[in-house]
């Protein structure tokens, strides 16, 4: 008997070092082809934030940054580079919490994460850092459109980053940019096999897809793109803002 259809997570490995101005759609198309992966309609192309930021030129040379008094104060306390702290603050709408090591902030997009997503790793030049894309949903939409143009397929795109979370240890990959896929699946009103109403009401499928891809998207393994195949997603144009929980409905903080 053939096993029933499931979901495949397919790594795309052969991407070159991404440079500002690069056509990410073309790079992914080429790498997929070289890796023997033929993108098909219904696939979800999951892309690490870092290469999107690089292609969009969201890179900053710390040598050009003059830290504010506030940045100097935090940096002194945390023994970090005040220019890095300045960049983190400039990417943030507000500081949520700090300790001796890290700044948890709310980014201008509304994401709550460490250091506003500003990151030194996997950026080639010393003293340069990468920032999150300005509008990750638009980045995802542009990439989906480009892949559709190049390959004549209709795919969804998710841009991911690894965030920490409350209550639980460790980081997980989450969705910060979404195109062509409804990020939430709403089961409210549906019943189980015994006719009882379901208690798990709204599932964050975009984050589950991101987390699944995280299993392959290891930082040291040069896999910045994962194709998720076989998941029957709901097409939708609600972006990542739907995944941000309004304070008044957040009992988990």
Question: Which member of 61, 197, 234, 237 binds a copy of itself (CB under 8 A)?
Answer: 197
134/205 Cα distance (integer angstroms): 23
∠ CA(133), CA(137), CA(139), 5° rounding?
Answer: 55
Region near a copy of itself per CB under 8 A, out of 66-74, 86-94, 99-107, 141-149:
99-107
153/65 Cα distance (integer angstroms): 43
Region near a copy of itself per CB under 8 A, out of 59-67, 72-80, 150-158, 182-190:
182-190
What is the per-residue binding string for a copy of itself in 136-175, x denoting contact by CB under 8 A?
--------------------------x-xxxxxxxxxxx-
Helix axes 82-90, 69-78, angle to 10 degrees: 120
**Residue from 24, 15, 9 nearest 136 by CA:** 24
20/91 Cα distance (integer angstroms): 19
In whole angstroms, how close is the CB of 136 to a copy of itself at the nearest point?
Answer: 14
Question: Which member of 123, 145, 150, 153 binds a copy of itself (CB under 8 A)?
Answer: 123
Buried b (16+ CB within 10 A) or exposed e, 124-143: eeeeebbbbbebbbebbbbb
In whole angstroms, how close is the CB of 235 to a copy of itself at the nearest point?
Answer: 16
Residues in the chain: 253
**Total residues contacting a copy of itself (rule CB under 8 A)?**
83
Q: What DSSP designation does 166 have?
A: S
Kindly state whether residue 1 participates in binding a copy of itself, applying the rule CB under 8 A. Answer: yes
Q: How many CB atoms lie within 10 A of CB 236?
A: 16
CA 214 remoteness from chain centre? 10
Kindly state whether residue 40 participates in binding a copy of itself, applying the rule CB under 8 A. Answer: no
- Decide whether 4 or 152 has the Cβ nearer to a copy of itself: 4
Question: Which member of 20, 41, 76, 219 binds a copy of itself (CB under 8 A)?
Answer: 219
- Decide whether 8 or 41 has the Cβ nearer to a copy of itself: 8
Question: Which member of 43, 56, 86, 207 binds a copy of itself (CB under 8 A)?
Answer: 207
Token pair for residue 62?
A: 């710390």
- Decide whether 31 or 145 has the Cβ nearer to a copy of itself: 31
């Amino acid at each position: 008997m053939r096993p029933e259809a499931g979901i495949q997570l397919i790594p795309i490995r052969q991407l070159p070092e991404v440079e500002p101005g690069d056509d990410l759609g073309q790079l992914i198309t080429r790498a997929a082809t070289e890796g023997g992966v033929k993108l098909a309609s219904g696939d979800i192309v999951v892309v690490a934030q870092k290469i999107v930021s690089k292609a969009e030129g969201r890179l900053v040379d710390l040598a050009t940054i003059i830290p504010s008094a506030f940045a100097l104060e935090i940096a002194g306390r945390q023994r970090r580079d005040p220019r890095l702290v300045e960049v983190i603050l400039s990417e943030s709408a507000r500081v949520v919490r700090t300790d001796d090591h890290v700044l948890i902030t709310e980014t201008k997009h509304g994401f709550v994460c460490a250091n506003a997503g500003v990151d030194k790793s996997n950026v080639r030049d010393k003293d340069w850092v990468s920032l999150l894309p300005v509008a990750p949903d638009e980045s995802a939409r542009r990439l989906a459109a480009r892949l559709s143009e190049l390959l004549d397929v209709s795919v969804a795109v998710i841009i991911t980053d690894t965030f920490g979370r409350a209550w639980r240890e460790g980081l997980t990959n989450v969705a910060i940019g979404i195109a062509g896929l409804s990020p939430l699946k709403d089961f409210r009103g549906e019943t189980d096999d015994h006719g009882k109403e379901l208690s798990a009401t709204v599932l964050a499928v975009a984050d589950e897809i991101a987390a699944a891809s995280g299993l392959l998207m290891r930082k040291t393994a040069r896999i910045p793109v994962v194709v998720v195949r076989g998941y029957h997603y709901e097409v939708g144009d609600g972006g990542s803002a739907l995944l941000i929980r309004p304070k008044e409905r957040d009992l988990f903080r």
